[in-house]
Structure 1
Amino acid sequence: MSFRTTPSVDYVEDVSPGSGALPPRAWYASSDARSLSLNGSWRFRLSATAGAEDDSFAEEGYDAGNWADVTVPGHWVLQGDGAFGSPIYTNHLYPFPVDPPYVPTENPTGDHLRVFDLPSDWPSDGAAVLRFDGVESCARVWLNGTELGEFKGSRLPHEFAVGELLKPGSNVLAVRVHQWSAGSYLEDQDQWWLPGIFRDVTLLHRPAGSVADFFVHASYDHTTGEGTLRVDSDVDGRVLVPALDIDVATGEPVTVAVRPWTAETPKLYDGVLATDGERVPLRIGFRTVVLEDGLVKVNGTAVLFKGVNRHEWHPERGRALDLETMREDVLLMKRHNLNAVRTSHYPPHPAFLDLCDEYGLWVIDECDLETHGFTEQDWRDNPVDDDRWTPALLDRAARMVERDKNHPSIVFWSLGNEAGTGRGLTAMAEWIHDRDPERLVHYEGDWNCRDTDVYSRMYASHDEVEKIGQQLDGGTRKRRELPFIQCEYAHAMGNGPGGLADYQELFEKYDRLQGGFIWEWIDHGVKHAELGYAYGGDFGEELHDGNFVCDGLVFPDRTPSPGLIEYKKVIEPVHIEGDGANGIVHVTNKQDFADLSALAFEWSCQVDGETVESGSLSVPALAPGESAEVKLPEPPVDGRGGERQWTVRALLADDTSWAAKGHVVAWGQFAVGARPLPSFPATDRPVPDEGRITLGPAAFDARSGALLSIGGVEVGATPRLDVWRAPTDNDDGAEWQTDTRYGMLWRTLGLHRMRHRLVSVEAGDDALTVRTRVAPAAREVGLDTVYRWTSDGERLRLSVSVTPEGDWTVPLPRLGVRFGLPEADRVEWFGGGPGEAYPDSKAASMVGRWQSTVDRLQTPYVRPQENGARADVRWVELGGLRVEGDPEFWFTARRWTTEQLDAARHRTDLAAGDTVWVNLDHGLHGIGSQSCGPGPLPQYFLNAEPVEFSFVFSTTR
């Protein structure tokens, strides 16, 4: 009898970072040394446990003919149509028992095989390096049957010396990847758990005398306009920068006049590091980052960060991103006025940082470290405060810094995210400060700022942020003397975030507040044939956090959400406001470094939302921080007596690397005069006739007072008071929130199931009056509601008065009327647009004449919820009706009811019905960002109080 020996897998649960890998170094592409991409189709075998199979698959000649195929870079759980397991989403809970450093025996393990031919002209000197740019979470590697080593640190590069193992012709690369390892305890980021070789695998030739590691130091003296360049290199060579006439030895400093690098003016100088064996291209940006006068300054100027947190994501490929997808992210950021990105919560693919250098974005480069799940046990056994784990932490810090140290875009090194505090973090900070004193260190969890150069917080409320700006936040003296940033704020989950403009006002008011980073860039929806986009729980996970993974400013397909459009407006680099009555425009350059010479300005004049005249506007090339008043031309003469306004836009004067000439950077609007309100005398009287009441063009049911038709337009459901909206993610809040979670309170009160009691139908001399009481079951609170209908024979006016009864302790979700139309498709309106807006997210709502279809009015949030409202509407036309408001109103129109929208969990749950449901709202409750951050500010509450509003209906047929 023989027994099969289970291979040793002790390394999986070893707290060390691994063995066999070369020391970390700068990531670069050589000009002349050969490289061979090993990306592509690999043979693949999945096992349920780490030791289920022996190591024979790594031997030469192994027959893997019955194995499956996977694509590298890639995650195996996103391939194979579910045959290779499924993604798992948790926010912070570990999806395995917290028993460090141990992981479950059930540990999906993927064996990967790649047979490749060494090109016939591959140099024969024998020196070569095999590089893995990202493998989750633990990998063991063999080449031609020889074990190279194993490693952890999923989002970090690992290289192995393989020159002596390479053979002419066919070579066999074998990689065993374990989903869970001791390293998983350090990688509890809020994202999908996705095992696999998800970044590039590359074979690099290393010629004799080639570059090993190098560090580009390129500082800038803003007082002299000179830059100092020194390139330290492990291998001696020369540094050449032709545009600056630089030709110096490595290690030798040289000072010359230069144009500095900033996110607004990302000037890069092309250079070369030349050694005896290799030439490496350099892209050099001169800039100096310091902590001075309690502020983060670059090139002598304090910076205001207008940033975003960016996880790497693609809806089909997960974290396996190609260059064009990364470029799309950067271009979208630039086109929406962002100037900074935090690489949450790990170093990105190195090509992304190249793009940040090229196009101009400030970067907080964050280490691949998060131990958030230990908060469930009050941080007991947290690895960052356990000396056994410190070598792994230092390895992760070193692999980040050494790989990325030559990027001018990086101004902060971040120790990681939500890992508590401890000696390991202090060791990381000390190592980084020593290795690179030319940048600053960030970590949000260090509220006492023991190890960091900036006071950083997440989701601090507006009130607390203002206190911090005033240095009234308490804490240590060191902390109060440091600048403040919100490394995460304004949670962009579902509809929202609200309150962005209010935050930005504070950031610009107090010098100490140096901006923040929205959470986050993209919804992590997984493309799904049946659900549209899947989120947590859609793959049968034991533990999951639902759609909390869908909290981005762009949808999974990278379509900008209304939140991104709002953010673009709020952080405009040019502020435009005006005095319409006197024809004066106030223009302020809110940039930190660039003047306005790259922009052209144009004005237009609108009457009732239609442009009647436009032209160019001469604005000085204002320096940063400067303002000017510019005179507008005389208003055009127009016979119409409608509402007049000016619109002024700032546009790119020429093509740039990130947008074309004419791209709108900023805009402002201001009224010339007050809007004329709709009014008419009530000349018609209600006429009862065989169960109906006729009033002007309208017919009503005599018993209920329900509106049946206006002119030839049938009304499928009469206008009646509506207070319910399908709660947004931000309405519902987060389970750990201590603030009021109104979505839950609204349901508790019963606002989603209001009942309408008819009190009376009164046909008077000049009006039809319908009195009702609207209230939730089981509660004594209610809303006395009176509908008063009048007409001049052609038009119909509805005046609604609402009087709350009882003790209303919560605000209302909405207050208006809802009705149904049997037919409606095309929609035109005069008011805010073109996209949705809510009381605390309407900065980007531009008043004008807009057109749409009912379907295009909807905002496709991954989890359906309240959406699609248009703000400040004067009138809207749809389904043969024209509705004017007194005062302006909000409107939505959709092919499903609010109740159906509320019940849906995915977009595919929504099916168009035969009725278009229209809401005309006098008021809406604010949005806030309470899915993780604070709720709406009090000024955006829709409190229950007496109110009256009216609408004028007419037909367009």
Structure 2
Amino acid sequence: MQKPNLPIIEKPDWENAAVIGINKEPAHNTSIPQESLEAAMKYEVESTSPYFQSLNGKWKFHWVKKPADRPIEFYKQEYDVSEWKKIDVPSNWQRKGYGIPIYTNIRYPYSIGRKDRPSIDHEYNPVGSYRTEFTIPDNWDGREMFIHFAGVKSAFYIWINGEKVGYSQGSMTPAEFIITKYVKKGLNTLAVEVYRWSDGSYLEDQDMWRFSGIYRRVYLFSTPKVHIRDFFAHTQFDQEYEDATLTVQIKIANLGMESYKLQISTELFNSKGKSLFEPHFDTFQSMLYNEVNISNQYKIEKPHKWTAETPNLYTLVLKLHDSEGNIIEIVSNRIGFRQTEIKNAQMLINGEPILIKGVNRHEHDPEHGRYVPYERMKQDVLLFKKYNINAVRNSHYPNDPRFYDLCDEFGIYVLDECNLESHGLRFKLPASKEKWTASVIERMVSMVERDKNHPCIFMWSLGNEAGFGENFVKMKEAALAIDPTRPFHYEGDYGLEVSDVYSSMYTKIPMLERSGQKKVVSNFFKPFLSPKKYADKPRMLCEYAHSMGNSTGNLQDYWDVIEHYDNIIGGFIWDWVDQGLLETDENGKEYWTYGGDYGDKPNDGNFCINGIVRPDRTPNPGLFEVKKVYQNIKIHRVEVERTEFSIENIYRFISLKEFDCTWKLEANGIIISSGLIEPLDILPMHTQKIKLPYVIPEPEVSVEYFVTISFILKENTAWAEKGYVVAWEQYPLRVKTDKQNLIAVPTASLMTYDNENNIMITGEDFSVTIGKETGTVESYIVNGLQVLKTPLEPSFWRAPTDNLLGMGKYFIWNKLPKYWKTASKNRILSEFTLVKNLKNKVRVYISWNIMKSPFKVRYTIHNNGEIEVSCSYTPKKRMIKMGMTAQIPITFSNVKWFGRGPHENYEDRKTGAAIGLYELPISEFIHNYVRPQENSNRCDVRWASFTNEEGNGIKFVGGNPFNLSAWPYSLEDLESAKHINELPEHDFITVNIDHKQEGVGGDDSWGAPVHKQYQIPKNIEYKYSFRISII
């Protein structure tokens, strides 16, 4: 039986993969015509050109949940929008109260990711209708006019004065339309209809918040009828990398109805405004509705090179002249002399192999969402420079063009990535399917055309987690046709067919080392990769050191391997910023949200909180570790007993003469001598020995000596002030000391009161009570003040970090060791022995049965009021931590310690924390992660005190260095809170004196354990002691 001929239902543009845009202009570089050479030389961030008009501001706005409910005729001039509310442009409408943001990592939101791809759910595809008005400047008469949308998510139509201009999708690169025939003198009406989801959304499944709206700048600009439509300036050095050839390719478009004889001139100026060569003129005939391509080369002797360390910029100025020599158009662009090559499996910049000390960065602002103000972009770049980050991967889409300007100016290498990710369907699309070919090529071409003149971009990326297939080959071919000067990256190319680098994600250190040794390697999707396949390709980690919550452990271990092998060129930490959104609760407390907080389903919770900075760009503690590991000056001690050190300059392009070298010698954290070393003109990749003028001190009882050498900025820079520390190292001096014995009070006597429930030891102005049934110190009263608000108890549990939760969540064999959570509570007292007949002290021996093993404690109460606590324990299971905990009055809120700091640190994240004497209020001693979890630990603490405003309080002194942490809330509060505003205020501080804390990990957050050397193994006897005294 023959099937009936069913009517063909035409899909809307936003549900049709064949429709990428309607009436859109081809992609080109970002430039605005200027009125004069002086204006062109300024290169303003916000253009002051008379041929530029911003449309940013308040627009009328209407929002519906589905297309069928949208105001269909709103674009008509007579349509009344007076009752509509206003919205900021640029912005994301979810941050303005319309709909909700959705956070997912891999899974597509319900409206997309369907079986009948690329269909969209018509019942939930919100539509935002925008209206605004503008007036064309009088001096634009007779010129060609354009409207430029820098970024709209995810698809939109545009009308001017009731006439349809066009359509666009592909939300991370510009959409530009010629509007000359649609505009009129006087007031013009602009209408824009934005769809939250489109078929393009199938290619935008990045691990991020799903926002919508006009989120980047909108502006008008005008040009002559014949104008410089595009140009590409690139450079190549000679074999000695001294002199360079500048190639300038220019595209001139004639949009008028006449042919013209014209000239174009090319000039290049240095940072001081000096021209490097006489203007070069080309004469040509411009035909109506046609384009002319002109290419010239210029020899430049010894130009100042652009690198991340030396971001030297030049200004290229192009002038279009009529047949009589009159200037009809001027455009400019900042360029840099930078050449990227791959040789001997290394990434070369201007002939020198570089290391990528990078981060992945999403565009994110805690208040605005995907719309990132210029000030926030600049804040990010300045922080990169301050924390020794030299590279950024634009994950996973082209960024706002102004971000590249900042990277050009301050010196940051950029891996520019195409807006292509189909993570949830990566083995389905785009693959080799012709349906998606035009779309993915257009996305790649749009990025390359827009960004090609930025010297900061050292490599292009074809996308992220989008599978592989013939479409990626075609994308690279299309990009190479535009720019053959840069290499290409794509991590998803597991067989290394198109990627010029061997890139991977979250590779463990042993496997990374195998690739450094050129051995057979494997990953999750490629079981075996032979050395022959990657021998000539630089080895790079496009994502590593997953910094979710309290993380970024063992970073130094990664870099010990990276720096050991020439073919490993570094990588990009995942990631830069916690993608939390700022909200305020009913009590006025601010906090940051994550997936699920808006009722968004599906969601991936706090998996978007992976940053080494918090949403407001205040540092997470891992950032300090990054700064130290990424520093470009190494300081080695030559011999332990001498004052000689070796200084290694691992900058690639600058001498150390730009820095001052300082040193200080400390005794127990107090500076006893310091100085400034004479200027060190150590060339890049060279080493020099220095001798410090300090005298090795004579031993003193209980005194430790440390020498710290630092390199600081000699002068103010664009990114930091004079004196800012860029690199440091600290070494202990091996001076033998004897530990100070407790000083007893000869005349003071101790009295012991023994009753059924407890014993009380009293001395002059103090008393200590130890429970017979509990075995804990339950009371410590000095001068009538109760110092302990809760008993001193064993502690084996910490509020789970995101890495620990991830182990239990994603792999069933990595179950959370929750038995340690109740281990102390379930302890059984098996011994209680009082020993009184000792001189100037009383001892109590106790033993608990904890997890089928004895936990032995010896309390020694001295007649000067000090309590000495000695513990020993042999666990039968691996521990997370081992220590003692108690609560003290909140009035003791000033924390002072001699140990590592000043920021939080852990056993696998303490390279960046120097030993010193530090002091902080408890509010700054803690660290508020977006999702509350274990925090505030300090390693290698010798002693710590908690005091009130008068300086009175409690002091803990370790028999050996210990771990210290403290919070103004309880462990239960910390573990139960989902956001920082849920942490209550109390009248106590929880203090943890820990013998051991395992590291925090950082390979990934879905199963990778803490490295063995930072774990606390079972079946080993652990002993430690500390003293408690009153200040």
Q: Tell me the TM-score normalised to structure 2 length.
A: 0.88
The aligned residue for residue 755 of structure 1 is 826
Task: After superposition, give the CA deviation of every residue in 1:117-176 in whole Å (9 maximum; x if it has no partner).
Answer: 324424111411111110111111111111111111111111101112111111111111
Task: Give the counterpart of 1:670 among 731, 736, 759.
Answer: 731
Which region of structure 1 is more displaced relative to structure 2, 96-105 or 164-173? 96-105
SS in 1 for 2:358: strand
The CA deviation at 1:244 is 5.0
Contact 1:889 1:921 in 2 (8 A): yes
Partner of 2:560: 505
Structure 2 partner of 1:457? 504
Amino acid at match of 1:266: P
Cα deviation per residue 1:646-701 (whole Å; 9 max; x = unaligned)?
11110000111111111110111111225653543889877235553316654123
Identical residues among aligned pairs (%)? 34
Provide the C-alpha distance between the structure 2 equivalents of 1:168 and 1:853, rounded to a whole number of angstroms. Answer: 63
Paired residue for 2:280? 248
In the alignment, what sits opposite 1:357? 408
Quick one: which amino acid aligns to residue 941 of structure 1?
Q
User: Is 1:644 aligned with 2:647?
Assistant: no
Q: Distance in 2 between matches of 1:905 and 1:297?
A: 46
Equivalent residue number for residue 543 of structure 1: 602
Q: Which residue of 1 aligns with 2:1026?
A: 951
What is the alpha-carbon distance in structure 1 between the residues aligned to residue 673 and residue 698 of structure 2? 10
- Residue identity opposite 1:366 in structure 2: E
Tell me the residue number matched to 1:262. 307
Q: Quick one: which amino acid aligns to residue 542 of structure 1?
A: K
The residue type equivalent to 2:207 in the other structure is D
For 2:267, what is the secondary structure of its paired residue? strand
1:417 counterpart (441, 452, 464): 464
Letter of the 1:859 partner, please give it.
H
Q: Does 1:680 align with 2:680?
A: no
**Aligned partners of 1:768, 1:710: CA distance in 2, in Å?**
18
**Is 1:801 the equivalent of 2:871?**
yes
Q: 2:441 aligns with which of 385, 394, 400?
A: 394
Other-structure match for 2:642: 582
Tell me the alpha carbon deviations over residues 462-491 of structure 1, each in whole angstroms, 9 at most, x when there is no partner.
111111111113414232331111000001
* Structure 2: gaps of 5 or more residues: 1-8, 36-48, 253-262, 282-293, 322-327, 522-528, 948-952
Contact 1:133 1:200 in 2 (8 A): yes
Q: Is the 1:577–1:669 Cα contact (8 Å) retained in structure 2?
A: no
Q: What is the aligned partner in structure 2 of residue 817 from structure 1?
A: 884
Distance 1:656 1:215, change over 3 A: same
Q: Deviations over 1:61-97 (max 9, x none)?
A: 22101212111101111103xxx11100001100124
1:48 matches 2:65: yes
How high is the TM-score relative to the length of structure 1?
0.94
Quote the offset at 1:239 in angstroms. Answer: 1.5
SS of the residue 1:26 aligns to: coil
SS in 2 for 1:514: strand
Deviation by residue 1:613-671 (Cα, 9 ceiling, x = unmatched): 22101252111221121111123879965211111110000111111111110111111
Deviates more, 1:23-32 or 1:109-118: 109-118
Which residue does 2:935 correspond to in 1?
867
Per-residue Cα deviation, 1:877-908 (whole angstroms, up to 9, x for no partner)? 11411111121011111121112201110001
Q: Which amino acid aligns with 1:514?
A: I
Query: What residue is the counterpart of 2:672 in the other structure?
Result: 612
State the 1:409 CA deviation: 0.6
Q: Does 1:562 align with 2:576?
A: no
Judged with a 3 Å threshold, the aligned counterparts in structure 2 of structure 1 residues 640 and 946 are, in CA distance, closer, same or farther, namely closer
Distance 1:674 1:876, change over 3 A: farther
Secondary structure in 1 matching 2:69: coil
Residues 89-488 of structure 1 aligned to structure 2 (within 5 Å)? 89-96=103-110, 97-99=113-115, 100-221=117-238, 223-235=240-252, 237-242=264-269, 243-246=274-277, 247-249=279-281, 251-257=295-301, 258-276=303-321, 277-374=328-425, 379=427, 381-474=428-521, 475-476=529-530, 477-488=532-543
Separation in 1, partners of 2:363, 2:823: 38
Structure 1's unaligned 5+ residue stretches are 1-6, 776-780
The letter of the residue matching 2:401 is: P
Task: Indicate how the Cα distance of structure 1 residues 796 and 661 shifts in structure 2: closer, same or farther if over 3 A, else same.
Answer: same
Aligned to 1:940: 1014
SS of alignment partner, residue 58 of structure 1:
coil
- One-letter amino acid of the structure 2 residue matched with residue 793 of structure 1: N
Secondary structure of the residue aligned to 2:473 is helix
1:163 alignment partner, SS class: coil
Change (3 A) 1:414 1:120: closer
Mapped to 2, the partners of 1:933 and 1:488 lie a distance apart of 16
- Alpha-carbon distance in structure 1 between the residues aligned to 2:10 and 2:598: 32
Secondary structure of the 1:188 match is coil
SS of the residue 2:126 aligns to: strand
> How does 1:802-951 map onto structure 2 within 5 Å?
802-804=872-874, 807-808=876-877, 811-823=878-890, 824-879=892-947, 880-929=953-1002, 930-932=1004-1006, 934-944=1008-1018, 945-951=1020-1026
Q: Note if contact 2:655-2:683 (Cα within 8 Å) is conserved in structure 1.
A: yes
Name which of 716, 737, 748 aligns with 1:655.
Answer: 716
Q: Which residue of 2 aligns with 1:627?
A: 687
* Secondary structure at the counterpart of residue 657 of structure 2: coil
Contact conserved, 2:29 with 2:230, CA < 8 A, in 1?
yes
Task: Note if contact 1:787-1:798 (Cα within 8 Å) is conserved in structure 2.
Answer: no
Please give the alpha-carbon distance, in whole angstroms, between the structure 1 residues aligned to 2:808 and 2:89: 38
Q: How far 1:604 sits from its partner (Å)?
A: 1.0
**Which range is displaced more, 118-127 or 287-296?**
118-127
Q: Are 1:455 and 1:483, in contact at CA under 8 Å, matched by a contact in 2?
A: yes
Q: Which residue of the partner structure matches residue 701 of structure 1? A: 770
2:653 corresponds to which letter in structure 1? F
Corresponding residue for residue 800 of structure 2: 727
Q: Secondary structure at the match of 1:827?
A: strand
Report if the CA contact (8 A) 1:460-1:934 is conserved. no
Counterpart position of 2:524: none
What is the CA-CA distance between 1:382 and the residue it aligns to? 1.7
Query: SS at the partner of 2:547?
Result: coil
Secondary structure of the corresponding residue to residue 475 of structure 2: helix
For these two proteins, the number of residue pairs brought into alignment is 933
- Distance in 2 (CA, whole Å) between partners of 1:308 and 1:494 is 16
Deviation at 1:496, TM superposition (A): 1.5
Deviation of 1:750 (Å) = 5.0
Residue 127 of structure 1 contacts residue 164 of structure 1 at CA under 8 Å; is this kept in 2? no
Judging changes above 3 Å, is the alpha-carbon distance between structure 1 residues 523 and 752 closer, same or farther for their aligned structure 2 residues? farther
